Structure 1
Amino acid sequence: MKLTWYGHSTWHVEVEGTELLIDPFFDNPKTDTDPEELDPDYLLLTHGHADHIGDVDRYEGTKLVASPEVVSYCRDEFGDYEAVGGMGMNIGGTVEVGDAYVTMVRADHTNGLDTSYGATGGMPAGFVVSDTKPTQVSDEESQSFYHMGDTALHTEMREVVGPYLEPDAVAAPIGDHFTMGPWQAAVAVDWVDADYAFPQHYDTFPPIEQDPEDFRKEVKAAGSDAEVKILSGDETFDLADAIGY
C-alpha cells in the first residue's frame, strides 16, 4: 500500500492495482500537483465541506464512496457519478473497491454541504482502507490505513477502530479550531495503536496553522509507540516497505 499526501486532508492510496483518492482539495499550500494529473478509480469523501470536495468536479464519472447525502449532492452539483452500492454507504459498512476494502467509521464533526442554504450531508465519516476484508480474526499480514477525516476525539477510536480494524497507519487532523489539535490527535493515535502517524488538516489557512513538531511531541507524551511521519506535500510513504510485507 502506497500513501501520498497532497496537503490538507487529500490522500492518494494505492492498493495493488487500485487507486483511491480521499477528499480531493488541491487548492492548498502544500501541493504543486495538478489534480488532473491523477486518474483514481474511486473517490472517497469523508464529508461535504468545500475543503474536502473542492476538486470533485475534476473527476466526473469516477465512482464515489460516500454517504448517500454527499453522493446526491455531488451528482446534483458536479456531474455524472456512479456510487459504490448505487446510493452510497454509511457508518459501519464495508465495501469492496477493486483490490481494496473500505470501512466507513464515525467522525465527530459537522457536515453542511452548502452553508448558503444549510443542506446537510448526513453524518461525517472517517475511512479505514485495507487490503483484506476486516474480520474478528486478526491478520498480521494485512495492511490498513485510517483516514480520520475531520473529527474530534471520541472513544470509538479506542473501542472499535483500534482493536477491530487494527490500522497500521493513521492520518490525524491536528489543525485545532475545526478539529482536534495536536494533543487530542496524539491521544487518538495512542488509542488506535497504529505504527505510523501522519499529521493532516493543518497550515491551509490561518485558523489551523500548526507546527507539526508539536504533534510529534504530544504523541511521545501520550505514551504511543507510533512513529510520526511529517510528510511534505506530494510525498509518498510506502506502507508495505515500512512494515515489512
Structure 2
Amino acid sequence: MVKVRFLGHAAFEIVGSKRILIDPFLTGNPAAAVKPEELEADLVLVTHAHGDHIGDAVLIAQRTGAKIVAMYDIATYLMENNKGITTIGMNYGPTEIDGVKIVQVPAWHSSSDGKYSIGNACGYIIELDGVKIYHAGDTFVFRDMELLAELYGPIDLALLPIGGHFTMGPREAAKAVEFLKPKKVVPMHYNTWPPIAKDPEEFKRLVGDKAEVVILKPGESLEL
C-alpha cells in the first residue's frame, strides 16, 4: 500500500517502503497542512526553482538527511549554496534511487529563484512499491503526455495543476487526463492565491468518466 497525502498547493507526501516529498512549499504557504518540522523523508523531489516549489526542501533535507532530487542545474545550485545536504541532479530520463524508480519528464514552465533562471522545469513519474504516480509540476498541457502514458503507463495516480494563469486550467488539465489515461487524478496548484482560484468540481465535471477525480483538501490523503 502507498499513501499519498496532499500538503497544499503542489506539495505531496508519498509513503510506502520509502517516504517521498514533492515540492514541499510549507513555510509561507497559506494552504499548508503541516509544518516542515513535522515531516520525515528519504527523498525530496523538486520540479523547478520557483520558491513555491523548492519551498522547505533544503531545511527538510538538512534535518532528515533526505536526498534532494532535482534538475542538474538546480541540484548543483543548492549544493553550492547550502551545507549539510546531498543532491542528485538529473536532466530528463529514468533512474533508480534507493529502490525507487524515478523518471524526470518535461514540463512547460519557467524555472528561476527570482533573480536567475536555473535549469528547466520538470515533472516526475515515480514507481514505489509497484504504484506509479505522475506529478506534472507546473505545466501547460502537451501532446507528448500521450507518449508518457505509452512508455510508463498504466499510471495509477496523476497529480495535475488546474489553477490556470501559471499552469493548465481545468479544461487543459482535463485534456491532459485524456492523454495520460490515469486511473485516478488529484487536482493541485489552485486556490492558494486569487490568481489561481478555480473550482475543482469544474475539473471533475470536465474529466467525466475518463478517470476517477479525487478532490483532496490540504492534509487529506488517499491510499493506492
Per the normalisation by structure 2, the TM-score is 0.92
Look up the SS of the partner of 1:152 in the other structure.
Answer: coil
Q: CA deviation at 1:173?
A: 0.2
Which of 106, 118, 124 lines up with 1:127 in the alignment?
Answer: 124
Q: CA deviation at 1:14?
A: 1.7
> Do the aligned partners of 1:30 and 1:232 also contact (CA within 8 Å) in 2?
no
> Do the aligned partners of 2:185 and 2:213 also contact (CA within 8 Å) in 1?
yes
For 1:193 and 1:32, how far apart are their aligned partners in 2? 29
Instruction: Provide Cα deviations, 1:64-110, integer angstroms capped at 9, x if missing partner.
Output: 111111112222444332123xxx1111x222222321110010011
Q: How does 1:79-158 map to 2 (within 5 A)?
A: 79-84=83-88, 88-91=89-92, 93-113=93-113, 115=114, 117=115, 119-131=116-128, 142-158=130-146
1:196 partner letter = K
Look up the SS of the partner of 2:149 in the other structure.
Answer: helix
Look up the SS of the partner of 1:51 in the other structure.
Answer: helix
Asked if residue 67 in structure 1 is aligned to residue 71 in structure 2, the reply is yes
Larger % of strand: which? Answer: 2
Q: CA deviation at 1:25?
A: 0.5
Q: How does 1:11-30 map to 2 (within 5 A)?
A: 11-16=12-17, 18-26=18-26, 27-30=28-31
Please name the residue that 1:162 is paired with. 149
For 2:90 and 2:165, how far apart are their aligned partners in 1? 28
> Do the aligned partners of 1:130 and 1:144 also contact (CA within 8 Å) in 2?
yes
Look up the SS of the partner of 2:207 in the other structure.
Answer: helix
Please name the residue that 2:51 is paired with. 50
> Do the aligned partners of 1:150 and 1:179 also contact (CA within 8 Å) in 2?
yes
Instruction: Provide Cα deviations, 1:127-162, integer angstroms capped at 9, x if missing partner.
Output: 001137xxxxxxxxx32000000001111101x211
2:223 partner letter = D
Look up the SS of the partner of 2:201 in the other structure.
Answer: helix
> Do the aligned partners of 1:5 and 1:236 also contact (CA within 8 Å) in 2?
yes
2:168 partner letter = M
> Do the aligned partners of 1:20 and 1:41 also contact (CA within 8 Å) in 2?
yes
> Do the aligned partners of 1:128 and 1:145 also contact (CA within 8 Å) in 2?
yes
Which of 201, 205, 210 lines up with 1:225 in the alignment?
Answer: 210
Please name the residue that 2:221 is paired with. 236
Per the normalisation by structure 1, the TM-score is 0.85
Q: How does 1:194-213 map to 2 (within 5 A)?
A: 194-213=182-201
Please name the residue that 1:136 is paired with. none
Instruction: Provide Cα deviations, 1:186-213, integer angstroms capped at 9, x if missing partner.
Output: 1001110001010000111110011111
Structure 1 runs not aligned, ≥5 long: 133-141, 240-245
> Do the aligned partners of 1:15 and 1:100 also contact (CA within 8 Å) in 2?
no
For 2:120 and 2:33, how far apart are their aligned partners in 1? 31
Change (3 A) 1:147 1:178: same
Structure 2 runs not aligned, ≥5 long: none
1:155 partner letter = R
